[in-house]
Amino acid sequence: MNGEIVQNLKLLSPELVLVFFLVVLFTVDSIWEQTRKNFVPLAVVFAACLLGTVATCWVSKTAPTVFFSGLVANDNFSAFFRYVFLFSCAAGMYLAFGSKELEKQNRMEFALLIVCVTFGMSLMAISTHLLMLYIGIETVSILSFVMAGFKSEDLRASEASFKYFIFGAFASALMLYGFSLLYGLTGSLQYGEIAQYVQANLGNMPYLLPLSLILVYSGLAYKISAFPMHFWTPDVYEGAPTPVASFFSVAPKAAGLAAILRFFLDILSYDAASGSWKAIGGEQLVSVVAVLSAITMTVGNLSAIGQNSVKRMLAYSSIAHVGYMLMGILTLDTFGLGAILFYIIAYCAMNFGAFWVVSIVADLKGSDRLDAFRGLGWSMPILGVTMVIFLASLAGIPMFSGFIGKMLIFGAIVKTPGLLWLAVLGVLNSVVSLYYYAKILRELWLEGREPGTASELSIYHGVALVGLAIPTVVLGLWFAPVIHFVERSIATIL
Amino acid sequence: MDLTELSIVSIKTLLIYVAFIQVVPVMIWVERKGAALIQDRPGPNRVGPFGVFQPIADALKFLFKEDPVPKEVNRLLYNLGPFLILLPSSLIIAAIPVGDRVELFGRDILLQVADIDVALLFFLSISSLGVYGILFGGWASNNKYSLLGAMRSSSQVISYEIPIALSAANAVMFYGTFSLRQMVMQQEGVLLGFLPNWGIWFQPIGFLVLFVALFAETNRLPFDLPESEAELVGGYHTEYGSMKFAAFFMAEYINLATASALLVTLFFGGWHVPWLSDSWLLLKLGSQNVVALVQVAMFLAKISVLLCIFVWVRWTVPRFRFDQLMHLAWGNLIPLGLANIIVTAILLYFFEGR
Amino acid sequence: MEAFLPIGILFLFAVMLCAGIYVLTNLLGPRIFQKNKLSTYECGVQNPLFETNARLPFKFRFYLVAVIFLLFDVEGAFFLPWALVYRESLQLGANLLIAMLVFSVFIILGLIYVFQNNYLNVD
């Protein structure tokens, strides 16, 4: 075969590993009837993620390249996100397997869906071409619709999936319109060539260019559930099965952020002297993004206060966390953007852990209301302690990874001239978030134990919870190597 | 395009169009006489010698009947139904090469309404539009049976479009072009010394798949469940009277003619006389126009043979049940078509690769 | 675009034919008003109001057939341009063959999936 194609395929090998395992899952599904209920899908997904990680390691040794004639890029940034996605795929599958909500469903199909979503997310993170980005986004979105409505006999899940679908179609249309405007202006869909056009026209910017960027941003904002495209998040997270909601809250957000970072970093450039972004309106764009992230944080935090359903509360809190992460974009330098990546790692572990606890409680008590948590801290101590760790990290209490993430982001903001108000707002929002996280903790530990409920936490879940709590604590204390890793990752696309 | 060119093109279009429409009365007669032959009875023999004026009598009857429109129909779609069925059937005629060139008035006129580069693609896409007429007819009729008949008919038609596309891909792979005229040009002369150079020797399975799928596309027995429902209970053309009813059947017969024309073009050498090449004919007969006449006659003869086969199959084979029909399309024809493409590709690679 | 002009002319002729059919029927056919003619065919069951309503709940199976048709038609549409250049591309190696084989693997997997789950069981 043609040598260049083989070379390009080698650079794409993590995705090819996922595709190969998709084929394996399909084949096993159609041949073997019994595997729908036992552990074979889980084993295959774990094998896929393991091999994918190995492939990513192998591929990330090569120099950063843009290959397949400008469609995708392979560098440390894509390696970082591939690791994140593979981990969340494995964790999501593990959670889905232990959950009673998905007991009666066809688990092989769920494995197929989750592996394919991971593949789509990898495409989103590595693409340097708008069409490739669109393919990735649509793969993730459409399969997410199916995953949200996976329990087809549950009316709320179907309703959640339907809402997700309608909103996703709308956001997709907006994004496509932005893509077509960009194509019309610059004559190309490839990030590099769009960047060249922008550099060449720094002085006289056609007014359509910021408009198209806003449209593209709105489509990507839907994926990460930032304001103003966040309205689907609470309904979908509440209606979808909890394992699915936990996967949604982590992985597509990371993918959307990867896409945003790659796309906007290619187009904009930072001018350290004036503290503004060169090209496209300079200061106005900075303040627009700052205001958007501020509103996202505030909306997320304030709406979570009155919630009675923990899944909804965590959905709003995930919106708030996206607000924090968006703040990091405002400083287009290694420090600020590296802070976003660190926050993604920390957020991945702690949010997954929080949702895991909710899933266990929902299986146990059948509902995710606050009073379902009553006294569980005493009857299932591992659950209680790890929930404390996760929620404290989410709130940004020192000694946990969430605090380090917030410190890095706020630190980057404080260094930027003119954005001090944003950092102050962020801190205030963290304080507010502590309130509703503490509500859960109060139910867990301080409301007294219910008589006669001595429940055992299965080893299956216990291992996972401890496994997620450990990085949350460790990253809060010993984070230097991780900081180096993320800075190396982000430096390759700056 | 100047006026003479435009007028030549218009006259040629009109002639070819009218010629294809003549297939309808001829087919009505052939069908009824053929049915009679197979069923051991006389058939129409009153209206003219051997009943040859029967189709005219039918057409006159249809024209003079009343056209009752029920109360609760959706007017626009009701009137649009037969229209939408006749249009794609008529448009497909444009892509079919009826013969080679004719030299008149000092110009070379191709005997094809439009010599487009993507004729096969045009054929596939326009024939897919026929589903609209069926659906509109069934939906607008405001009749439960019509609606169900229309649903089943449309799902039958769309299910059998995929084997047609796969078989067309197979033919395209072999000939290397979408243009039907080029495909016919490549089927000239003799193969291996004793066979006419036809496409069917190279793609027998493609022919089989296309043949069966075209039966279903034209709603022809053994796949005429929608029509049988018309005979029994309802169907998408229950609520139509007189000429609109006839329009559905006209469309079916014209579809039949174009389907036969497609089969002849792809697999049976088009307008070539078997074993003889065009240059030999030109030598023997002198003028290009006479050669063109011979070619058109050959084309018509081949289409007639195929039409007779269609009629023969119709009155010999019992009807398929609907789920058998769907299983044939999805379970048998599509895998067969796919396997055909893969095997042909591999064989082509081994015979011609590198 | 020159080559497509005859198709436009053919379209006009077809429209004229259809319009001619309509006009002729309206002119030549009688119009006798009978109440029974207003109702749709119902196998002999008389509807006293001569009003029927066929807006039934839609059967989901037909929609599935349409969606699966869409997928496989797009696959067929991918096969067509591939087939166009395949024979010439064989001079440059087996690239297109391998590409098509990989593509067909996914199509075949999809077909197998459809059959395993019996999605096309319209009855």
pLDDT per position as a tens digit, A235-271: 999 999 999 999 999 999 999 999 998 888 877 755 5
In a domain, C25, yes or no: no
At residue A169, the pLDDT reads 94
Do B and C touch, 3+ Cβ pairs within 8 Å? The answer is yes
At residue B269, the pLDDT reads 85
Q: Determine the residue type at A486.
A: V
pLDDT band (50, 70, 90) for residue B333: very high
Highest mean pLDDT, choosing among A201-205, B342-346, C33-37, C50-54 = B342-346
Mean pLDDT, residues C111-116 taken together: 86
Mean pLDDT, residues A162-167 taken together: 93
More confident: A121 or B238 = A121
How distant is the alpha carbon of residue A378 from its chain centre?
32
Chain A residue numbers with beta carbons less than 8 Å from the beta carbon of C116 are 29-30
Mean pLDDT, residues A466-478 taken together: 87
At residue C60, the pLDDT reads 83
Do A and B touch, 3+ Cβ pairs within 8 Å? The answer is no
For residue A89, pLDDT beyond 90: yes
What proportion of chain B, given as a percentage, has pLDDT over 90?
27
Chain C residue numbers with beta carbons less than 8 Å from the beta carbon of A4 are none
Q: Is B349 on the interface with C (CB under 8 A)?
A: yes
What proportion of chain A, given as a percentage, has pLDDT over 90?
39
At residue B236, the pLDDT reads 72
The dihedral region occupied by B142, where left means phi > 0, alpha psi between -120 and 50, and beta the remainder, is left
The Cα of C4 is separated from the nearest Cα of chain B by a number of Å equal to: 6
Q: How far apart are CA B87 and CA B234, in angstroms?
A: 24
Q: What is the ipTM for the molecules in this complex? A: 0.86
Q: Are A224 and A253 in contact (CB under 8 A)?
A: yes
Highest mean pLDDT, choosing among A216-225, B45-54, B104-113, B222-231 = A216-225
* Contact yes or no for C116 and A30 at CB 8 A: yes
Residues in a beta bridge with A270: A277
Chain C residue numbers with beta carbons less than 8 Å from the beta carbon of A25 are none
The CB density around residue B181, as the number of other CB atoms within 10 Å, is 22
Q: Which domain holds residue C77?
A: 60-116
Optimal mutation site among C1, C32, C37, C41, interface B, most CBs of chain B within 10 A: C41
Closest CA to B329 of B170, B226, B209: B209
Mean pLDDT, residues C33-52 taken together: 63
The CB density around residue B286, as the number of other CB atoms within 10 Å, is 10
pLDDT band (50, 70, 90) for residue A179: very high
Q: How far apart are CA A243 and CA A295, in angstroms?
A: 28
The Cα of C12 is separated from the nearest Cα of chain B by a number of Å equal to: 10
Chain A residue numbers with beta carbons less than 8 Å from the beta carbon of C105 are 23
The Cα of C3 is separated from the nearest Cα of chain B by a number of Å equal to: 6
Q: How far apart are CA A4 and CA A248, in angstroms?
A: 36
pLDDT band (50, 70, 90) for residue C29: confident
Q: Are B312 and B33 in contact (CB under 8 A)?
A: no
Q: Which of A2, A5, A26 sits opposite C113 (nearest CB)?
A: A26
Write the DSSP string, A215-281: HHHHHHHHHHT-TTS-THHHHHHHHS-HHHHHHHHHHHHHHHHHHHHHHHHHH-EEETTTTEEESTT
Residue B10 DSSP SS3:
helix
Q: At what angle do helices B75-92 and B119-128 cross, to 10 degrees?
A: 160
At residue C45, the pLDDT reads 61
Does a cis peptide bond (omega within 30 degrees of 0) precede residue A228?
yes
Structure tokens at B268: 């049976």
The dihedral region occupied by A88, where left means phi > 0, alpha psi between -120 and 50, and beta the remainder, is alpha
Closest CA to A269 of A346, A202, A209, A179: A202
Locate the domains of chain B by residue range: 3-352
Q: Are A316 and A298 in contact (CB under 8 A)?
A: no
Considering only A305-309, B337-341, C114-118, which range has the smallest mean pLDDT? C114-118
In a domain, C35, yes or no: no
In a domain, C3, yes or no: no
Q: What is the mean pLDDT of chain B?
A: 85
Q: Are A333 and A493 in contact (CB under 8 A)?
A: no
* Contact yes or no for C109 and A29 at CB 8 A: no
At residue A429, the pLDDT reads 92
* Contact yes or no for C95 and A29 at CB 8 A: no
pLDDT tens digit sequence for A69-87: 778 888 888 899 999 999 9
Size of interface A-C (CB pairs under 8 A): 19
Exposed, middle or buried by CB within 10 Å (0-12, 13-18, 19+), for B116? buried
Residue B110 DSSP SS3:
strand
Sign of CA dihedral C56, C57, C59, C63: positive
Q: What is the mean pLDDT of chain A?
A: 86
How many domains, in total, are found in chain C?
1
Chain C residue numbers with beta carbons less than 8 Å from the beta carbon of B247 are 18, 21
pLDDT band (50, 70, 90) for residue B160: very high
* Contact yes or no for C123 and B322 at CB 8 A: yes
* Contact yes or no for B71 and C13 at CB 8 A: no
Q: Are A11 and A65 in contact (CB under 8 A)?
A: yes
